[in-house]
Structure 1
Amino acid sequence: MLKPRAVIFDVDGTLVDTVDPHAESWRRAFAAFGRQFGFDEIRRQIGKGGDQLLPVFLSEREVEEEGDRIEAFRADFFKREFLPNVHGFPKVRELFDRLIADGKTIALGSSAKGEELDAYKAAAGIEDLRLVEVSSDDAERSKPHPDIFQAALDRLSLPAADVIVVGDTPYDAEAAAKAGIRMVAVRCGGFDEATLRQAGALEVYDDPGHILASLPPQ
């Protein structure tokens, strides 16, 4: 884990198993407005917020005219159909407890909305921990722009060299690099090791439990 003073964790696909539900919610939202896109092509874009995902599939004019309504449909569908059943990946709480015991400060840097982030913390079993939190509500642009991670750095009051990011997508890696932060990746969000390393991940683990198992004995 490169011996940082603080660790910024992405959430979707890193701590909680939400990538497929998000992809399906976007697919349903596009379909409701007459656009048919495949699940797999949408899934490859998960990790971006709506501000960055919508322009991949829609023209600038379409985004301007219908983007807000499509995104609102997506958010409502996800909240209704998937959010109540979201579950965390194994060993998230144990990993956080270990990092805190080692003196690390933990931040969450997510493209999720604040309300979703609260549900994710509960699903991962970390809702009672004192964490630095940054959501899409705190950033003008979502990943792969660096705004979310930069906001987390500002709240940590640490230089980028003393921090690492843990994420599951190449967009996390791109955003971290733009903020000058080292990044390690997990594969539980669905991206393969080669893609993650090509995007800039220095190390790749299977999931949070694999990170925990890799730490030296206390």
Structure 2
Amino acid sequence: MTKAAVFDIDGTLVDSVDLHASAWQEAFARFGHHVTFEQARSQIGKGGDQLLPIFLSAAQQQDYGNALEEWRGERFRSNYLPMVRPFSAVPELFRRVRDAGLKVAVASSAKEDELDIYLDIAGISKLVDESTSSTDAARSKPAPDIFEVALKKLGIAAVDAVAIGDTPYDAQAARKAGMRTIGMLCGGFTEGSLRASGCVAVYPGPGALLACFGASPLASGA
């Protein structure tokens, strides 16, 4: 029986994927690397520890990887964070989950200060039992660390929890942690890529999951 829902936030609850991709693209250009928007976007959902090795050699990461990531973070916060908007029906979905007796956590690769802002933007700051950010885990998704920390904070076994995310990296991380995953199309990844990564159900976005809640993996006994 499902006892907890563990949500990703970027691309799942708030519309931020394109904004993150633009910030990464600018950061790589700043340090002399041509990375297209599409290339950057395909990696959103990972933290910097998993994303940088896709585009930088080990020597480049050691030389200026931290500086590049710091520049990206400052650029995102100053130029792009004010443009982040929530997807529809997010608070309503969280209330429905809580009314069903489930605990709720948010498990994100975002920085802790960004995560707090996202929770406010989405209108769910008071509807979350636990949250985890990149500061809580040594490795970001698709490693399972962030989900494992969330489960530990909730005091829930992996088999009794369902992850909800918009990227293959969410599903891969959740599977490694022993969890089922619901995929969301609102982050821009295809249904095929989400199912291939292990999603047991896929919905267009939070509103659709709310509308189909009774038949979803979040429903008791589903």
Quick check: TM above 0.5? yes
Q: Deviations over 1:54-84 (max 9, x none)?
A: 0000001101111100000100000001112
SS at 2:159 equivalent? helix
Q: Name the TM-score, length of structure 2 as normaliser.
A: 0.95
Deviation, structure 1 residue 131: 2.2
Gaps of at least 5 residues in structure 2 are none
Deviation, structure 1 residue 157: 1.0
Task: Note the aligned Cα RMSD (angstroms).
Answer: 1.2
> Which residue, 106, 111, 114 being the options, matches 2:112?
114
Deviation, structure 1 residue 130: 4.0
Look up the match of 1:154: 152
Letter of the 2:6 counterpart = I
Look up the match of 2:135: 137
4+ aligned runs moved over 2 Å, structure 1: 128-131
Letter of the 2:40 counterpart = I
Q: Deviations over 1:177-209 (max 9, x none)?
A: 100111110000000000000000000000000
> Which residue, 31, 34, 38 being the options, matches 1:33?
31
CA distance in 1, matches of 2:62, 2:204: 39
Q: How many residues align?
A: 216
Alignment of 1:22-171 (within 5 A): 22-171=20-169
Look up the match of 1:212: 210
SS at 1:129 equivalent? coil
SS at 1:188 equivalent? helix
Letter of the 1:126 counterpart = I
CA distance in 2, matches of 1:129, 1:146: 24
Gaps of at least 5 residues in structure 1 are none
SS at 2:12 equivalent? coil
> Which residue, 169, 186, 189 being the options, matches 2:187?
189
Letter of the 1:210 counterpart = A
Q: Name the TM-score, length of structure 1 as normaliser.
A: 0.97
Letter of the 1:32 counterpart = R
Checking the alignment, whether the CA contact within 8 Å between 2:87 and 2:206 is kept in structure 1 is: yes
Letter of the 1:165 counterpart = A
Residue identity (%) = 49
Q: Which stretch of the first structure deviates more once superposed, 184-193 or 130-139?
A: 130-139
Deviation, structure 1 residue 128: 2.5
